[in-house]
């Protein structure tokens, strides 16, 4: 199993897209402890499922930005460098997609 962002198009001309975030194991091992450490409420819901309304995407973006900032300072994290880099890359991809969803009418998003 994995945690991913699903982007749905309201019109039937486009197929839904999946944007990978993490494997279930990596999410539990790395992401959730970071959420606890940084008091990240929204990201911790990714595993159980989170429908993203346009008005709460900005809250998720804010938390992802905080997570990225934390991991980009090597002295902050006890994680191996390659794991931090991996999570930052996934966070960057997710930020790009979420900002696009905010700007584009007709898109719906769900993370699970």
Domain extents in the chain: 2-111
Nearest-angstrom CA–CA distance, 79 and 53: 32
Name the pTM for this structure: 0.92
pLDDT 10s digits, 42-101? 999 999 999 998 889 999 999 999 999 999 987 887 899 999 999 999 999 999 999 999
Burial of residue 77, with CB atoms counted within 10 A of its CB: 0-12 exposed, 13-18 middle, 19 or more buried: middle
């Amino acid at each position: 199993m994995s945690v991913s962002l699903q982007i749905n198009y309201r019109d039937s001309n486009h197929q839904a897209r999946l944007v990978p975030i993490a494997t279930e194991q990596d999410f539990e091992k790395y992401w959730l402890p970071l959420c606890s450490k940084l008091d990240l409420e929204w990201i911790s819901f990714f595993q159980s499922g989170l429908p993203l309304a346009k008005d709460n995407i900005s809250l998720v973006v804010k938390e992802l930005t905080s997570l990225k900032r934390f991991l980009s300072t090597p002295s902050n994290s006890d994680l191996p460098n390659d794991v931090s880099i991996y999570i930052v890359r996934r966070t960057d991809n997710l930020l790009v997609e979420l900002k696009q969803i905010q700007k584009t009418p007709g898109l719906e998003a769900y993370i699970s």
